[in-house]
Amino acid sequence: MAARLLGMLPTVIFLLAGQSNMGGRGGATKGPWDGVVPPECAPSPRILRLSPDLHWEEAHEPLHAGIDVHNVLGVGPGMAFAHTLLSSSSTSGVIGLVPCAQGGTPIANWSRGTDLYDRMVTRARAATAATGASLGALLWYQGEADTIRREDAEVYAGRMEAMVRDVRRDLHMPDLLVIQVGIATGQGKFVDLVREAQRKVRLPRLRYVDAKGLPIANDYTHLTTPAQVRLGKMLAKAYLSTL
């Protein structure tokens, strides 16, 4: 049911962006999604998502349906992140999630002026304008596509810093919190180079959460459903530590 019919609007909003592990492939690496929704990812009237047509609705898995297009979608970290926040005494009200991820995309596809960048900024503006709620953070999990070419891996840190600066400027939020996930896998052989570049990103109000060591599905690329739940909790812990 649409949130507008329920009379609810978010009090704090989070952007979810990056590629497939943010879009969510938990339970969806062997074909169609298995439909398993852990309790930590269950729907709640206090967790809303911004739909593809920019309306608030009750969030449910797969969270990126209609956003991460042309891909089989499953469980991602967003719902577990939101539930963890709601279980904390530091969070009250309603959480709004703004899915923006797109599978298989290198960071160059997220630079200012690209379709994905423009979509993310447009959705962020629509989310905040409709509610007056604060933008709590940008949750960013991306980099696997930049492990294919050494040239991309070596310039990753600079591209990430430029993207963050541009987003903050275009949203008029110079202190926007960004929580970056260190990749656990990659589509190429330069995973370690990208991970090193991610750790080299030096910007104020940027936190780093490492996905290395979380369970990986049998496609050797995507996090399992239990891993996505754990990642969501890790992201929530990182956010709460800034309050």
How far is residue 63 from each of residues 162, 186, 201, measured CA to CA in Å? 27, 23, 28
pLDDT of residue 5: 40
CB contact set of 151 (below 8 Å; sequence gap of 6+) = none
pLDDT digits (tens, 9 = 90+) for 36-81: 999 999 999 999 999 999 999 999 999 999 999 999 999 999 999 9
Contact (CB, 8 A) for 235 and 179: yes
CA–CA separation, 180 and 208 (whole Å):
5
Nearest to 68 by CA among 109, 98, 115, 100: 100
Of 93, 5, 11, 116, nearest to 55 by C-alpha is 5
Give the homologous superfamily in CATH for domain 12-241: SGNH hydrolase (3.40.50.1110)
Report, as an integer, the average pLDDT of 212-222. Answer: 96
pLDDT at 92: 83
pLDDT of residue 90: 82
Residues assigned a catalytic role: 20, 219, 222
Residue 2 predicted with pLDDT over 80: no
21-40 pLDDT, tens digit each: 999 999 999 999 999 999 99
- pLDDT tens, position by position, 128-179: 997 889 999 999 999 999 999 999 999 999 999 999 999 999 999 999 999 9
- Tell me how far apart the alpha carbons of residues 39 and 37 are, in angstroms, rounded to a whole number: 7
Q: Between β-strands 95-99 and 134-141, what pairing exists: parallel, antiparallel or unpaired? A: unpaired
Encode pLDDT of 82-94 as tens digits.
999 999 988 889 9
